[in-house]
Structure 1
Amino acid sequence: MPDTPPHPFAATANPEVDLVLLGGDIGIYALARAFHEKYGTISTVVTRKVAGPVADSSILSTVELGMGASEEEMIQALLAVGADKASHPSSVRPVLLANADFLVALMAAHREELGRYYHLPLLDDEVLHAVADKATFSEMCTEIDVPTPRTVVLDFSSGTAPEIPELDLGWPLVAKASRSSAYNAVSFPGKRKVFEIEDRHQLADLVQRLTAAGYRDRFVVQEMIPGDDTAMLSVTAYVDTRGAVTLLGGAQVLLEEHTPGALGNPAAMFTTDLPEVFEQSVRFLQHSGYRGYANFDVKIDPRDGVAKFFEVNPRIGRNNYYMTAAGANVAEAVVADFLEEREPERLVPREEILYSIVPWPLLRRYIIDPDLRDRVQEIRRHRTVHPLAYGVEGMKRRLYVAAAKVNQVKKFLQHYPRPSADGF
């Protein structure tokens, strides 16, 4: 079923709302789309490369820096955009958002300079450092009885390979960087976002490769929670400057991406009510002193039925459009907070919708539970959305979305040709 926005046309432009985005992926376009649907905003996107998700769009303008642009050059570009906007008599202070951990960390490191021109929905430095670290996140969850997988931390900060302790996590286990912003800075053969480790020998090999690559942060090793992609949940929230959770919703994941660099990113999911998980999410946000957008990754453990919290991303998340499509436009929370200076009634999704960036025949192939497949089929008939398929865009965009779906088929056939019991 084609994507059908809740309103056939975007809102009339609101001159009081402006948005600047750093990055250029699907999540960035989804944010621009949310602001355009609600406020008619034409966003400014600052990115190293104007790639497919943000190319040829009528709802945003782009500033391309080149693939070799340094972090300092990105900051200088943002300052130039901000100064230019401020020079116009009728200008308003824009909201500045990013949707990658390392870009959020970069903005936080320059918050004083950027704050001259932008509203910055960012966490305090201390909170950002704590919650963006998967090891610290697990410790914080334990403090407030929010369940997490059993975790062992390997510390590479000394520059030498850490000793691997005796592990009582079972095999296989999962290994991943404690902070993706630190992991983003290294490169080595076989690099993946998440590793499935079959035995101690494989873990020792990974430790050696990380050390040789110059990795100088922590790596977490966790018990493998059984279950395929359909056991995963996504929770999206916004905490305003007063500490109130003004946006909260979630979805059950149906299929995740399986390319090495994108492993774990949801490719399809449907909105659903998750009362206990929502309560635990709010508890964590309030305990940590969180501010701004948050995106939790959670998995239901089939051994005990308990939802285990894996991490919180200090940003809205790549697949945030499922919230907007279901009736909780993600732009409203930050606009109410910074531009209208009010605490709105909490925004929650009102519709059950299917969010998918893959064709239905491909998705159906990976939903092996017949009852779940029937349920998703029914939701699909009601409403299916693709974040890039926005009716106000032109033919080039429609062709790009069609090509992107075909490319997804190729990627799954290459990297995940058939469903597995653990999603690897």
Structure 2
Amino acid sequence: MERAAPAPDRTVPVLLVKVGRYPQAHSPVGVARSFGRLGVPVHAMVEDRFTPTAVSRYLTSAIVSPTTGREPPRQLLDAVLAAARSVGRRSVAVATDDEAAVLLAEHAEELAPYLLLPAVPAGLPRRLADKGELSLLCAANDVPTPRARAPRDQADLLAAARDWGYPVVLKNRGAFDRLHRPAVGATTVVRDEQALRAACPPELVASVLVQEYLPAEHAEDWFTHLCCGPDGEPLAVFTGLKLRSWPPGAGITTRARALPNPPLAELAARFCRQIGYRGVADLDWRLDHRDGRYKLVDFNPRTGAQFRLFETTAGVDVVRALHLSLTGRPVPRGEQLARSFAVGQVDLLSTAVTAWRERRPPAGLRPGRGTERAWLCRDDPLPALAEAVRFAGRPTLRVTRRAIGAALRPVRR
């Protein structure tokens, strides 16, 4: 049976706003497809005209605006303003990275003539994207979270790891830290002091957060995607279970399943109400079976990479809910659909490496029915082709080889 679709205002376009270089991200492609299938014009800031997003049939225009995220804030803001003016109509802005979300919130007044934005407190996205500040917000609002510390120096970093015991998790603290002065390449699990010293030299400690590791054998990875309206109440809230990631155990979601989880949905909604959050968000949780609590690991104040996993029986996902709300239209209610999500080649890598480490045959290589694919789809094939070409490129192959090497390295217990 064909699902009902919401009735958006097709005279109000969407502008995808990004900061930094990540041409192979699948979230912007998902946004273009979600709105394009409803007839809403979609414009996107892109690195070049041959990114997967730029070649989507559902994209109205690709605005070539390459940035690194290391530019002065005024220069980044001018790039967003230029993109917004080029659309020619006031647009709903959709941030696809934390830096873009921070930029939009902190300059909402200047951007208001060109962009429709949720009324989130100006400084809140920056605090939520900062891992140290997030830990403080969780403590102040009675939201469970792993123990975390923003170390003053390397001695403080080593002390935290000794107090909690290895492994520990290292993360870049702030939204722009990973671009300006990254302490680690990505979320990193270190299993002994030697690895900790190597992963984070003394001069970069100020940019890192050290977090308690919740053992995989005693935990499950969940996430909530939601869109909060102008009164703080969720217009749509979804819950799902992460099945695989790349690199395995500490990376991006490569396979996931939408599963209703009312207690987790309410925990996420309550936290957003308490802190005054508005707009789209992606929250990562870990269910710690040792105490039965869901612990907030990350709060991304923007569209999540796997948001297209989630849709209601009324045809609503989080970005559609945002557009409906900001254009003054009702958001129809509906039940969360049961379906899965898969991310092409990286899911195959995750499956193969995990099987090798566990000494078992790989399983679940082919997505089943009801699976939303990040790249491949019949009505929009070119993004998958563009991604495959870039995936085979030398820089990606170097990164992939390093990730495989790290994943295959023996685990010290």
Instruction: Report the TM-score range of the alignment, normalised by the length of the smaller protein.
Output: 0.7 to 0.9
Q: Which residue of 1 aligns with 2:247?
A: 258
Q: Which residue of 1 aligns with 2:324?
A: 336
**Is the Cα contact below 8 Å between 1:226 and 1:302 reproduced in 2?**
no
Give the Cα–Cα distance (whole angstroms) in 1 for the partners of residues 121 and 247 of structure 2: 33
Give the Cα–Cα distance (whole angstroms) in 1 for the partners of residues 255 and 332 of structure 2: 28
Give the Cα–Cα distance (whole angstroms) in 1 for the partners of residues 215 and 316 of structure 2: 31
| 1:380-391 aligned within 5 A | 380-391=367-378
**Is the Cα contact below 8 Å between 1:269 and 1:356 reproduced in 2?**
no
Give the Cα–Cα distance (whole angstroms) in 2 for the partners of residues 364 and 121 of structure 1: 39
Q: Which residue of 2 aligns with 1:127?
A: 124
Change (3 A) 1:415 1:216: closer
**Is the Cα contact below 8 Å between 2:172 and 2:182 reproduced in 1?**
no
Give the Cα–Cα distance (whole angstroms) in 1 for the partners of residues 172 and 157 of structure 2: 17
Give the Cα–Cα distance (whole angstroms) in 2 for the partners of residues 252 and 175 of structure 1: 23
**Is the Cα contact below 8 Å between 1:6 and 1:325 reproduced in 2?**
no
- The secondary structure found in structure 2 opposite 1:121 is coil
| Structure 1 position 297, deviation (Å) | 0.8
- What percentage of residue pairs aligned between the two structures are identical? 21
**Once structures 1 and 2 are overlaid, which stretch shifts more, 406-415 or 276-285?**
406-415
- The secondary structure found in structure 1 opposite 2:176 is helix
| 1:48-59 aligned within 5 A | 48-59=47-58
> What does the per-residue CA deviation read over 1:1-26, in whole Å, with 9 as the maximum and x for residues that have no partner?
xxxx978xx99995323101123531
The TM-score, its normalising length taken from structure 2, stands at 0.80
> What does the per-residue CA deviation read over 1:56-104, in whole Å, with 9 as the maximum and x for residues that have no partner?
2221111113457945444324323433444xxxx4x210122111122
**Is the Cα contact below 8 Å between 1:135 and 1:178 reproduced in 2?**
yes
Give the Cα–Cα distance (whole angstroms) in 2 for the partners of residues 126 and 66 of structure 1: 25
Q: Which residue of 2 aligns with 1:65?
A: 65
**Is the Cα contact below 8 Å between 2:245 and 2:253 reproduced in 1?**
yes
RMSD: 4.0
Please tell me the residue identity of whatever aligns with 1:64.
V
Please tell me the residue identity of whatever aligns with 2:192.
D
Equivalent residues, number: 395
**Once structures 1 and 2 are overlaid, which stretch shifts more, 284-293 or 139-148?**
139-148
Matched, 1:351 2:338: yes
| 1:245-394 aligned within 5 A | 245-258=234-247, 264-324=251-311, 327-342=315-330, 344-346=331-333, 348-358=335-345, 365=352, 366=354, 380-394=367-381
Structure 1 gap ranges (5+): none
**Once structures 1 and 2 are overlaid, which stretch shifts more, 10-19 or 26-35?**
10-19
Give the Cα–Cα distance (whole angstroms) in 1 for the partners of residues 402 and 54 of structure 2: 26
**Is the Cα contact below 8 Å between 1:96 and 1:121 reproduced in 2?**
no
- The secondary structure found in structure 2 opposite 1:154 is coil
- The secondary structure found in structure 2 opposite 1:381 is coil
> What does the per-residue CA deviation read over 1:385-415, in whole Å, with 9 as the maximum and x for residues that have no partner?
2123243325x44533555788899976752
Give the Cα–Cα distance (whole angstroms) in 1 for the partners of residues 157 and 318 of structure 2: 44
**Is the Cα contact below 8 Å between 1:147 and 1:306 reproduced in 2?**
yes
| Structure 1 position 116, deviation (Å) | 1.3
Change (3 A) 1:345 1:139: farther
Matched, 1:148 2:145: yes
| Structure 1 position 251, deviation (Å) | 1.5
| Structure 1 position 168, deviation (Å) | 1.9
Change (3 A) 1:202 1:349: same
| 1:93-242 aligned within 5 A | 93-121=90-118, 123-155=120-152, 164-165=158-159, 167-187=162-182, 191-209=184-202, 211=203, 217=207, 219-227=208-216, 231-242=220-231
Q: Which residue of 1 aligns with 2:233?
A: 244
Change (3 A) 1:36 1:419: farther
Change (3 A) 1:185 1:204: same
- The secondary structure found in structure 1 opposite 2:310 is helix
**Once structures 1 and 2 are overlaid, which stretch shifts more, 219-228 or 413-422?**
413-422
Q: Which residue of 2 aligns with 1:80?
A: 82
| Structure 1 position 147, deviation (Å) | 1.8
- The secondary structure found in structure 2 opposite 1:140 is helix
Structure 2 gap ranges (5+): none
- The secondary structure found in structure 1 opposite 2:15 is strand
- The secondary structure found in structure 2 opposite 1:176 is strand
Q: Which residue of 2 aligns with 1:26?
A: 26
Please tell me the residue identity of whatever aligns with 1:253.
K
Give the Cα–Cα distance (whole angstroms) in 2 for the partners of residues 68 and 140 of structure 1: 29
> What does the per-residue CA deviation read over 1:141-182, in whole Å, with 9 as the maximum and x for residues that have no partner?
2334322112222147xxx98675454211111111222322
Change (3 A) 1:339 1:295: same
Give the Cα–Cα distance (whole angstroms) in 2 for the partners of residues 423 and 248 of structure 1: 39
| Structure 1 position 233, deviation (Å) | 1.2
| Structure 1 position 122, deviation (Å) | 5.8
| Structure 1 position 249, deviation (Å) | 0.6
Give the Cα–Cα distance (whole angstroms) in 1 for the partners of residues 399 and 199 of structure 2: 25
**Is the Cα contact below 8 Å between 2:150 and 2:210 reproduced in 1?**
yes
